[in-house]
């Protein structure tokens, strides 16, 4: 294949053809000379078959942060290769720069760095590395077909973890958890429902904690100390159906649910509770059971692959899943939307069976746009009145659904996106401190 230099060479030879008595023969001679030089240039270009590619760099990154992937090209052939390459990624990977040049002598290698700024969470794979070997004159180059380039492209996938904006409140929530757990020095001992140990009574202790039998045996006043419940089950359910695709600000509702589930999972793991994850719509998308920090990384990876689906959520799958598991009591946190139709047809008929055995939290992100539409401007027109009436009806139905859920025994968290994750964590900490998990 030829480059722009070949066209420039032909353009430079055209004026000379006009000075000859037979310009057509001169044009043919100039064209033949240019083609001959281009063929010679291609023959002198280094072969692509001696190139070996490998990658190194970041495998995972949080959404909103940047990653770097290094592509190294080694020349194992006998000749110098004047290389032009394009490192192509999927558009949502935000890769750049894509084009690189290098001169590789025999036995040498060259590394180029691609910076990735992903715009969506999930897996972002490298597509293809296209290689060109230019001749020394720059008139033409060697390039293999698409299939050859794809075969020689080293595979690489960047796992983009979901955005975690509630990370900023994590230190505060962990501090509250330590207070609940009794590990803060100012508290001295924990408050909970599980017996921890006996110790000598000191002034200021609650007299209701005195163990009179143990005091009689020890001939001294001793008190019982308690600790919060441990090794409890926290079951996060993410609704990935069509209602999760509604934009809250500039992100889908599912992103806010994932953020809250991440914060809750970190807290529960630090509290030595077991965290399980279930994501469903018309089918089960993700099912992760685990305990400990290693399983926490699995939970985060599992959430990274979740995206809203344009399907109605089948909450009967949740009922089947809970029946499949053991009958031990759990904290069931359902991240969904308080829309009337999906609730009436899906979750509400199932809720009495769930609340009879488990502690249930229904967590939903409030759409601020609906609240703004419900407010009339200073000088409203007919369209403003209709919009406000429709928005007010949505808010009224939402309040009714919230009341029905609370009457069925569920705790409802209905908050704006910026405080949603924190409020879900607060409910967990409250239940943890009061021993109601």
Q: How far from 300 is each of 174, 258, 265, 294, 431, CA to CA, in Å?
A: 19, 9, 9, 10, 24
CA distance 329 to 35: 81
Residue 69 lies in a domain: yes
Residue 330 lies in a domain: yes
Q: Does position 190 have pLDDT exceeding 60, yes or no?
A: no
CA distance 83 to 133: 5
Sign of the CA dihedral running 371, 374, 376, 377: positive
- Answer with the residue of higher pLDDT: 126 or 14: 126
- Answer with the residue of higher pLDDT: 201 or 59: 59
Residue 84 lies in a domain: yes
Range of 14-23, 37-46, 159-168, 317-326 with top mean pLDDT: 159-168
CA distance 108 to 106: 6
> Where among 177, 209, 226 does a domain terminate?
226
> Element (H or E) spanning 64, and its range?
none
**CA triplet 270, 275, 280: central angle to 5 degrees?**
145
Specify whether 114 is located in the same domain as 214.
Answer: no
pLDDT (0 to 100) of residue 67: 96
pLDDT (0 to 100) of residue 186: 36
Token pair 């928005």 is found at 391
> Element (H or E) spanning 226, and its range?
strand 222-227
Partners of 222 in the β-ladder: 200
Specify whether 252 is located in the same domain as 354.
Answer: yes
- Read off φ and ψ for residue 200, nearest 5 degrees: -70, 140
Residue 92 lies in a domain: yes
Specify whether 18 is located in the same domain as 133.
Answer: no
pLDDT (0 to 100) of residue 291: 61
CA distance 300 to 149: 34
Q: Give one DSSP letter per residue of 26-40, joined into a string.
A: HHHHHHHHHHHHHHH
Residue 176 lies in a domain: no
Q: Does position 206 have pLDDT exceeding 60, yes or no?
A: yes
Least Cα distance to 55 among 38, 45, 39, 68 occurs for 68
Query: What is the CATH number for 80?
Result: 2.60.40.10
> Where among 141, 161, 181 does a domain terminate?
161
Specify whether 330 is located in the same domain as 424.
Answer: yes
Helix/strand/coil percent split, the chain, to 5: 40, 30, 30
**For the CA atoms of the chain, what is the radius of gyration?**
33
Q: What is the mean pLDDT of residues 168-173?
A: 94
Q: How do residues 301-332 score in pLDDT, each as one tens digit? A: 899 999 999 999 999 999 888 877 767 788 99
Residue 315 in tokens: 């909450």
Q: How far from 356 is each of 80, 277, 330, 332, 352, CA to CA, in Å?
A: 75, 21, 11, 12, 6
Least Cα distance to 19 among 4, 5, 33, 29 occurs for 29
pLDDT (0 to 100) of residue 326: 64
Contact 44, 80 (CB under 8 A): no
pLDDT (0 to 100) of residue 215: 82
Residue 253 in tokens: 């509702």
Q: How do residues 274-298 score in pLDDT, each as one tens digit? A: 899 999 999 999 999 866 556 788 8
Burial class (CB in 10 A: 0-12, 13-18, 19+), 12: exposed
Going through 60-190 in order, the beta strands assigned E by DSSP cover 60-62, 67-75, 81-89, 95-96, 99-104, 109-116, 122-134, 141-142, 157-161
Specify whether 237 is located in the same domain as 270.
Answer: yes
Specify whether 283 is located in the same domain as 361.
Answer: yes
Going through 355-407 in order, the beta strands assigned E by DSSP cover 359-365
How many percent of the chain have pLDDT more than 90? 47
Q: What is the mean pLDDT of residues 411-430?
A: 94
Average pLDDT, the chain: 86
Residue 167 lies in a domain: no
pLDDT (0 to 100) of residue 227: 62
Domain carrying residue 76: 51-161
pLDDT (0 to 100) of residue 101: 92
CA distance 227 to 60: 37
Q: How do residues 221-239 score in pLDDT, each as one tens digit? A: 888 776 656 678 899 999 9
Specify whether 213 is located in the same domain as 280.
Answer: no
Q: What is the mean pLDDT of residues 17-30?
A: 75
pLDDT (0 to 100) of residue 201: 77
Range of 160-174, 186-200, 281-295 with top mean pLDDT: 160-174
Q: Number of structural domains, the chain?
A: 4
Specify whether 87 is located in the same domain as 139.
Answer: yes
> Where among 207, 226, 245 does a domain terminate?
226
Q: How do residues 92-150 score in pLDDT, each as one tens digit? A: 999 989 999 999 999 999 999 999 999 999 999 999 999 999 888 888 888 888 899 99
Residue 99 lies in a domain: yes
Token pair 């005195």 is found at 210
Specify whether 344 is located in the same domain as 241.
Answer: yes
For strand 331-336 and strand 233-239, is the pairing parallel, antiparallel, or unpaired? parallel
Specify whether 147 is located in the same domain as 14.
Answer: no
Specify whether 215 is located in the same domain as 254.
Answer: no
Residue 186 lies in a domain: no
Contact 149, 48 (CB under 8 A): no
Residue 165 in tokens: 């904006």
pLDDT (0 to 100) of residue 26: 75
Specify whether 273 is located in the same domain as 134.
Answer: no
């Amino acid at each position: 294949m030829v480059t722009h230099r070949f066209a420039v060479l032909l353009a430079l030879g055209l004026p000379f053809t006009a000075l000859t008595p037979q310009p057509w023969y001169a044009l043919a001679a100039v064209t033949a000379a240019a083609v001959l030089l281009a063929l010679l240039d291609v023959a002198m270009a280094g072969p692509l078959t001696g190139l070996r590619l490998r990658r190194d760099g970041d495998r995972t990154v949080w959404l909103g942060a940047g990653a770097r992937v290094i592509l190294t090209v080694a020349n194992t052939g006998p000749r110098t290769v004047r290389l032009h390459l394009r490192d192509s990624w999927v558009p949502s990977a935000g890769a750049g720069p894509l084009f690189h040049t290098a001169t590789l002598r025999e036995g040498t290698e060259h590394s180029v760095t691609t910076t990735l700024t992903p715009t969506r969470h999930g897996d972002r794979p490298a597509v293809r590395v296209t290689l060109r070997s230019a001749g020394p004159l720059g008139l033409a180059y060697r390039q293999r077909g698409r299939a050859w380039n794809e075969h020689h492209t080293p595979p690489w996938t960047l796992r983009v973890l979901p955005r975690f904006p509630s990370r900023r409140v994590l230190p505060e929530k962990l501090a509250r958890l330590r207070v609940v757990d009794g590990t803060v020095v100012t508290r001295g001992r924990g408050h909970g429902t599980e017996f921890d140990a006996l110790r000598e009574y000191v002034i200021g202790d609650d007299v209701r904690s005195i163990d009179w039998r143990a005091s009689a045996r020890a001939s001294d006043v001793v008190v019982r100390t308690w600790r919060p419940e441990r090794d409890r089950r926290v079951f996060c359910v993410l609704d990935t159906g069509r209602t999760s695709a509604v934009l809250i600000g500039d992100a889908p509702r599912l992103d806010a649910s994932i953020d809250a589930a991440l914060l809750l999972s970190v807290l529960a793991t630090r509290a030595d509770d077991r965290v399980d994850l279930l994501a469903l719509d018309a089918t089960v998308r993700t099912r992760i059971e685990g305990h400990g920090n290693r399983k926490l990384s699995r939970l985060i990876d599992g959430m990274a692959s979740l995206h809203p689906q344009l399907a109605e959520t089948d909450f009967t799958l949740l009922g089947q899943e809970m029946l499949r598991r053991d009958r031990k009591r759990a904290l069931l946190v359902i991240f969904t939307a308080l829309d009337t139709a999906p609730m009436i047809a899906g979750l509400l008929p199932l809720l009495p069976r769930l609340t009879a055995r488990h502690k249930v939290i229904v967590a939903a992100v409030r759409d601020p746009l609906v609240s703004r539409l419900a407010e009339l401007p200073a000088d409203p027109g007919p369209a403003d009145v209709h919009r406000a009436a429709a928005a007010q009806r949505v808010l009224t139905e939402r309040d009714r659904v919230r009341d029905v859920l609370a009457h069925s025994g569920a705790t409802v968290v209905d908050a704006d996106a910026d405080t949603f994750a924190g409020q879900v964590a607060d409910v967990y900490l409250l239940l943890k401190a009061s021993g109601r998990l």
